[in-house]
Structure 1
Amino acid sequence: MEAEPTTSRTNQRLSDLLHEARWRPEALARRINAVLAARGNSRRVHAKTPYKWIADGAVPHGDIPELVVELLSAQLHTELRYADVWGQAAPRPQPALPADHAMDLPWDSNGLLSLVGGPVPTRRTIIAVTGAALTAPAWAALQQPAPDLVATAGDGGPVSPPLLDMIDTVVAQAQQLDDNQGGAARGFVNDQFAAVARLLRRASYNAAAGRRLAAALAQLAQTAGFMAFDAGEDGIAQRWYLTALRAAHTAAEPGLAASILALMSNQAADRGHALDALQLAAAAQESAATTPPAVRALVAARSSLAHAVAGDLTSYTRTRHDTLELLDTTPDTSLPRWASYIDRTELDAITGRGLVVLAERVPTRRKQLLHHAGQLLHARAHTSPTDAPQRSALRHGAWLSLAHTAAGDLDLAVSTARLALGRLPAVSSVRSVALLLRLHDELAPAAPRSPAVRNLVNQLRTLPTPARPTTPR
């Protein structure tokens, strides 16, 4: 398109970006209004107002400038800054948003479509929530009936079976990227979420196709949530998980909802919020009640971490028993594709890191708990460098090294840490790096009397120092 007439105060940056996005100013106004409506904001932008922003160099008030940056970034698949669009620095930092911001929506199809009606606000500072803000949606998802999601007159064309198959393949590949590379592909996963959300809003499909789209959306949001959690961005992770929960509810996928709830429980446990973790674990187990045994085993294993953080060895032992019993059950149905990674090695590793936490909380059983933790973590921590999942192998290798350190076995602590460090060039995981930095702190006192420990501590000291996420101590 041709650039609009300008004056000396013209915002040529905005004009050029609209040209690159193939949007007329009226199209920008429509997209702004759609997002404002989806977020429950009654403000609207007149169709001709963006012309004024270009011709006069005017900057709108409130959240509109940041929203324009979000929209253009999403359309152009690039990270734009405020100054890239408006030619000046942002007037002041935007206020932080809670993770559940603007999520007080009905548990029906309109609620989901409103929630995904605009960019997930990850460009703003998102702060994590606790208590009812986090646990109330978990119970609401269990109590509300799954709605039908049908669009028969969308302007985006019909959703065909081959398109659904392609989406399912992309969803599975996104999960594999997380398994093998950690959060390195976060931008790609976010883009796929936006693409599926756009189909839900604009395409035409029947109820069955609508549920498949909602299930795909839930899986992408779950993957994006775990990537954000693994990057130490707890507020953004909660935002993704809460979005994923709504999509799984709409898809009538109780097993997927249970998996999301269990991940929310694990995040709360990692942050040291035992009561939230226990509530979310209970909701996850209720959601999983009618799912295949392997899914229930996964939920039980993840739930054990809540009991570990609470220092409840009895309940931890019960969930471990449930996990093993369910794994030994002959499945009567096939596993959903998203659950294909569930196996004894992974579930052992999950419960093994809970034992490291319990060893700190139940000092009278410390020696036995650390010994058992080493047994459960060993297989995953020693995953071949050419096998999946590398991100889990890195994380649980760091936990195993911490267990050996706590048990006083410095030789095993060093060899296990070196194995974990060897995975770092290929895996992006802020939380794993934080665990290795914690290992540095715990090994440092032994460095003067052990050359092997001293060399490892020096190597750990060179790791990039992230904003350290909370890890249970």
Structure 2
Amino acid sequence: MGRPPLDRQPNTRLAYWMSRAHMGNNRLARLITERAAAQGITGIATDESRVRAWLKGTVPRDPVPRLLADVLSGATGTDLTLADVGLPGETGPTGIRSPWTRTGALTSLSQIIRSELMLPDTRTGPDAADVLTSNDLLAPLQEWLLSQPDDADTARPGHRIGMSEVDGIRQITTAFRDLDNRHGGVLSRSAVLAQTDTVLTLLKTSTYTEAVGRELFSAAADLASVAGWMTFDAGRHTAAQRTFVSALRAAAEAGDKRIGAHILQCMARQMSHLGHVDDALDLVALAQYGARRDLTPAAASMLAALEARFHAITGNTADSEAAAARALDAYERVQPTAEAPYMAFFDLPELQATLGMAHQIAARHLDGTARTRHVRRSADLVQQALDARPEHRRRSKAFDHLGLARTHLAGSNPDAAAEETARCLQLLGAVHSRRVTDRLGELYREAEPFTTTAPGRDLREQIHDRLTTPTGPGI
């Protein structure tokens, strides 16, 4: 029948593709047997019990895995690898070190999106241990600097598409960004993954001019960056990183350094969130250098502001303040109508909040009057950001309240911190974000020295009650 894996798990990927093909156990067994006979392979007599065993985690012997993938490929119209159907074997060029070509971009992005669509939605726990870091991450990404788009294959058969389809993809991407801003990435992640898969099918099966192809890859990269961001916000860190890298490949195929820099800053935020701050700084530097001839004032300001925050985390307060000054200088040159839609989030409140957090983090490395100065500056900037935030930026507002709470704790003011925590928690009925949960956990730990005070105990009790309710972990 086959060999059981050492740690047998149900093959959810095989079950997914059988469902997509509307195929039961008996029919799959029969088609595999028929395909083997058609290819002159003897000794293959698959039955329903064998398929049932595969679904439970048993791995069939060669050549059955390839026959199984071929049958499901034909039934679904999708070129499936053995990995796609949950079996060991070839996976295709999905690794971070695979060639930066058009085929590599499409295959890499298709397989990570398809993989995420197949996984059960309940698998939302952190998996940060498998995230690539240091040279394993940065060295392959250097190729983004030198990558050049392939020529479009305009001769293949397929429906011809033009700029109207590109415009439609960009409108859909804007709608998903708005959902993410309003409600976080947890609820809409599956929808944006499915939409990205649809766009990839367009890229692989349609015909288009070289100019349209560039715009299509750029739009696909932008949409995939939203998919990666929502996946990051949902706490699926390894999948988020793979999606970001695949989106960067699509950006390279588009020859679009600006969207490439945007994707790299998303990756930098993820690395900082996971505690890999040196990697975050390297990713910012890669974005700044790789897009140096194409950076708009808003992008330059955003990258410098992130640099200020990351330097503050490492304790380099002088470098942090220098980067903050560059961010403010660049922002003075911003013309919103000249910026790409994906930069719309980086407005003055976002800049103020980012720099406010840099001051708060810096305060924790200092004492005396220097600490007091940074605390005051942080509170002023984050409050200004909160007051000016658009109403639909609910997750950002939640982060602002959390930022103010942490700033007040840095200034030894647990009363004000407890008030801001309560305001943050009021927003969480409409916001579902693992990143917010993580930040609440940090605030909970930072408030531990204040448990001798009533406000300090109240703050921690509010967070504890929220995170231990049945709906808490889904925030």
Q: How many residues align?
A: 416
- After superposition, the C-alpha distances for 1:209-247 in whole angstroms (9 at most, x for unaligned) are 212221122112211222222233221221111111111
Instruction: Check the 8 A contact 1:352/1:374 in 2, yes or no.
Output: yes
Cα deviation, residue 404, structure 1: 0.7
State the distance in 2 between where 1:57 and 1:240 align: 34
State the distance in 1 between where 2:194 and 2:21 align: 21
Q: 2:382 aligns with which of 370, 377, 380?
A: 377
CA distance 1:14–1:225, change in 2 (3 Å): closer
Instruction: Check the 8 A contact 2:150/2:253 in 1, yes or no.
Output: yes
Matched, 1:186 2:179: no
User: Which amino acid in 2 is paired with 1:366?
Assistant: R
State the distance in 2 between where 1:15 and 1:313 align: 53
Matched, 1:105 2:98: yes
State the distance in 2 between where 1:249 and 1:14 align: 31
SS in 2 for 1:425: coil
User: Which amino acid in 2 is paired with 1:369?
Assistant: H
2:141 counterpart residue number: 138
User: Which amino acid in 1 is paired with 2:246?
Assistant: T
- After superposition, the C-alpha distances for 1:260-304 in whole angstroms (9 at most, x for unaligned) are 112222222222223212211111111332222112111221222
Identity over the aligned pairs, expressed in percent?
26
Matched, 1:305 2:309: yes
Matched, 1:395 2:399: yes
1:237 counterpart residue number: 240
CA distance 1:382–1:425, change in 2 (3 Å): farther
CA distance 1:269–1:118, change in 2 (3 Å): closer
2:198 counterpart residue number: 195
Matched, 1:327 2:331: yes
Q: Which deviates the most, 54-63 or 280-289?
A: 54-63
Q: 1:254 aligns with which of 240, 253, 257?
A: 257
Q: 1:164 aligns with which of 166, 176, 185?
A: 166
State the distance in 2 between where 1:215 and 1:437 align: 37
2:175 counterpart residue number: 173
Cα deviation, residue 427, structure 1: 0.5
State the distance in 2 between where 1:243 and 1:383 align: 35
State the distance in 1 between where 2:98 and 2:18 align: 37
Instruction: Check the 8 A contact 1:311/1:361 in 2, yes or no.
Output: yes
Q: 2:408 aligns with which of 404, 409, 421?
A: 404
1:224 counterpart residue number: 227
Cα deviation, residue 324, structure 1: 0.8
SS in 2 for 1:361: coil
User: Which amino acid in 2 is paired with 1:396?
Assistant: D
Instruction: Check the 8 A contact 2:277/2:314 in 1, yes or no.
Output: yes
State the distance in 2 between where 1:159 and 1:203 align: 7
Cα deviation, residue 15, structure 1: 10
TM-score, normalisation: structure 1: 0.77
CA distance 1:53–1:411, change in 2 (3 Å): farther
Alignment of 1:111-126 (within 5 A): 111-120=104-113, 121-122=115-116, 123=119
SS in 2 for 1:463: helix
Q: Which deviates the most, 191-200 or 374-383?
A: 374-383
- After superposition, the C-alpha distances for 1:302-359 in whole angstroms (9 at most, x for unaligned) are 2223212222112211211111111111549711121122211111112222222222
State the distance in 2 between where 1:146 and 1:266 align: 27
- After superposition, the C-alpha distances for 1:404-425 in whole angstroms (9 at most, x for unaligned) are 1121122321221121111101
Q: Which deviates the most, 248-257 or 287-296?
A: 287-296
Instruction: Check the 8 A contact 2:112/2:242 in 1, yes or no.
Output: no
User: Which amino acid in 1 is paired with 2:378?
Assistant: A
CA distance 1:372–1:21, change in 2 (3 Å): farther
CA distance 1:288–1:359, change in 2 (3 Å): farther
Structure 2 residues not aligned, in runs of 5+: 1-14, 33-37, 77-84
State the distance in 1 between where 2:384 and 2:336 align: 28
Q: 2:443 aligns with which of 426, 439, 448?
A: 439
SS in 2 for 1:432: helix
Instruction: Check the 8 A contact 2:156/2:207 in 1, yes or no.
Output: yes
State the distance in 1 between where 2:134 and 2:452 align: 45
SS in 2 for 1:102: coil
SS in 1 for 2:466: coil
State the distance in 2 between where 1:388 and 1:413 align: 24
CA distance 1:55–1:313, change in 2 (3 Å): same
2:373 counterpart residue number: 368
CA distance 1:455–1:339, change in 2 (3 Å): same
SS in 1 for 2:22: helix
2:432 counterpart residue number: 428
Cα deviation, residue 129, structure 1: 0.8
User: Which amino acid in 2 is paired with 1:112?
Assistant: A
Alignment of 1:42-61 (within 5 A): 55=48, 57-58=50-51, 59=54, 60-61=59-60
Cα deviation, residue 21, structure 1: 7.2
- After superposition, the C-alpha distances for 1:55-93 in whole angstroms (9 at most, x for unaligned) are 45343449969x97xx89xx7xxxxxxxxxx9xxx99xx
Instruction: Check the 8 A contact 1:410/1:453 in 2, yes or no.
Output: yes
CA distance 1:102–1:438, change in 2 (3 Å): closer
User: Which amino acid in 2 is paired with 1:273?
Assistant: H
Instruction: Check the 8 A contact 2:261/2:290 in 1, yes or no.
Output: yes
State the distance in 2 between where 1:128 and 1:432 align: 20
State the distance in 2 between where 1:146 and 1:256 align: 14
State the distance in 2 between where 1:20 and 1:119 align: 23
CA distance 1:219–1:253, change in 2 (3 Å): same
Cα deviation, residue 18, structure 1: 5.5
Instruction: Check the 8 A contact 1:262/1:303 in 2, yes or no.
Output: no
Moved over 6 A (4+): 13-16, 45-49
The Cα RMSD (Å) is 3.9
User: Which amino acid in 1 is paired with 2:224?
Assistant: A
